[in-house]
Amino acid sequence: MDLGISGKTALVTGASRGIGLAVAQTLAAEGVRVVGAARNVTPELEKVATAVSVDLSTRDGARSVVEVALDTLGGIDFLVNNVGAGDPQGMSLGGLLDVDDEQWQTVFDLNLFSAVWTTKAALPSILERRGSIVNVSSINGRMPAGAPIGYAEAKAALNQFGKRLSEDLAPHGVRVNTVSPGPVATRLWTDPDNFGGSVAAAHGVAHADLLAGLPTQFRIASGRLTEPQEVADLIVFLLSDRAANIHGADHVIDGGTLKTV
Ligand SMILES: NC(=O)c1ccc[n+]([C@@H]2O[C@H](COP(=O)([O-])OP(=O)(O)OC[C@H]3O[C@@H](n4cnc5c(N)ncnc54)[C@H](OP(=O)(O)O)[C@@H]3O)[C@@H](O)[C@H]2O)c1
């Protein structure tokens, strides 16, 4: 399928690895010029994008990366607000009484406000170019589960942000959609020093056993985790005009984890 996006421009946040990197690589393969942002610049990202080192959990960081993107690309057609989850270090996986206000703020800054700040800064250019936006949420935005507390709440708010933006922007030719993955085989789960390792430790199981048991634990109908490339393919399709009348929808990609209709 020809997506017809060659020559367009894109800003992808959280692009050094995982889903964001797969999105940057897929866009580049389609002939899109990409600026990709994360705190660490990886060789994989540098191969396909102009890589920017920035902390996107701050308003200044989010604004500054949009400035770099505008300077580098001359304008932004596509924005992928992918950055999220967060660093497991120092993050409590406990309940409301275990988690301090600072952790709530950290989780909301990265999983909600980063998208708000980046979108606000990029919007004049996206409006001018009648571009499109995809926010990367999670099935946890619809399912009050998962740790740390605050993550599901922030993603639910991100879903609402996308819907509101779509209502506001569709009449101006800008499409906004949400993509909500279930468990994806990124370092978030596969790296013992990341979130998967913390969850394993909290449950007193070996990291490898946790990984092997995830499909059962999450009751994933397909029996496996989603691959980052599968999420990237959906996002890039939604950005393209092949999805020209898809507005304000939340697209679940979870191997059948969510059981509601
Ligand atoms: N993996 C899953 O199971 C899953 C499921 C549902 C939803 N999601 C969502 O999908 C998105 C991507 O997840 P992923 O699994 O690809 O995560 P990942 O592999 O941990 O990658 C996260 C990306 O964000 C960057 N990042 C993290 N904190 C940052 C900060 N403060 N400033 C700038 N960049 C930052 C990381 O690079 P640096 O560390 O170098 O900054 C990296 O490029 C997130 O929104 C997550 O909530 C993931």
Q: What separation in Å is there between the alpha carbon of 61 and the centre of ligand 1?
A: 16
Residue 167 resides in a domain: yes
pTM greater than 0.95: yes
Higher pLDDT, 146 or 141: 141
Give the count of alpha carbons within 13 A of 112, CB side only.
18
Tell me the best of 25, 39, 105 to mutate to test the pocket of ligand 1, counting ligand atoms within 8 Å of each CB and taking the most.
Answer: 39
* 131: CATH: 3.40.50.720
> Is residue 85 over pLDDT 90?
yes
Closest atom of ligand 1 to CA, residue 39: 41
pLDDT for position 47: 98
**Residue 99: which of 154, 23, 52 has the closest Cα?**
154
Residue 2 resides in a domain: no
Residue 53 resides in a domain: yes
> Is residue 147 over pLDDT 80?
no
Residue 200 resides in a domain: no
> Is residue 114 over pLDDT 90?
yes
Take residue 95 and report the two structure tokens written for it. 């309940």
> Is residue 231 over pLDDT 80?
yes
Q: What is the pLDDT of residues 20-58, one digit of tens each?
A: 999 999 999 999 999 999 999 999 999 999 999 999 999
DSSP string, the chain: -----TT-EEEEES-SSHHHHHHHHHHHHTT-EEEEEESS--HHHHHHSEEEE--TTSHHHHHHHHHHHHHHHSS-SEEEE---S---TT---S-GGG--HHHHHHHHIIIIIHHHHHHHHHHHHHHHHT-EEEEE--GGGTSS--SSTTHHHHHHHHHHHHHHHHHHHGGGT-EEEEEEESSB-SHHHH-TTSHHHHHHHHHT--HHHHHHHHHHHTT-TTSSPBPHHHHHHHHHHHHSGGGTT--S-EEEESSS-----
* Number of separate domains in the chain: 1
Using an 8 Å Cβ cutoff, are 227 and 184 in contact? yes
Residue 134 resides in a domain: yes
Question: CA 180, CA 160: separation in Å to the nearest integer?
Answer: 13
The boundaries of the domain holding residue 91 are: 9-185+227-253
Residue 79 resides in a domain: yes
Mean pLDDT, to the nearest integer, of 216-240? 98
Residue 197 resides in a domain: no
Please name the residue whose Cα sits nearest to atom 25 of ligand 1. Answer: 14
pLDDT for position 1: 86
Residue 190 resides in a domain: no
Mean pLDDT, to the nearest integer, of 173-180? 98
**Residues known to be catalytic:** 151
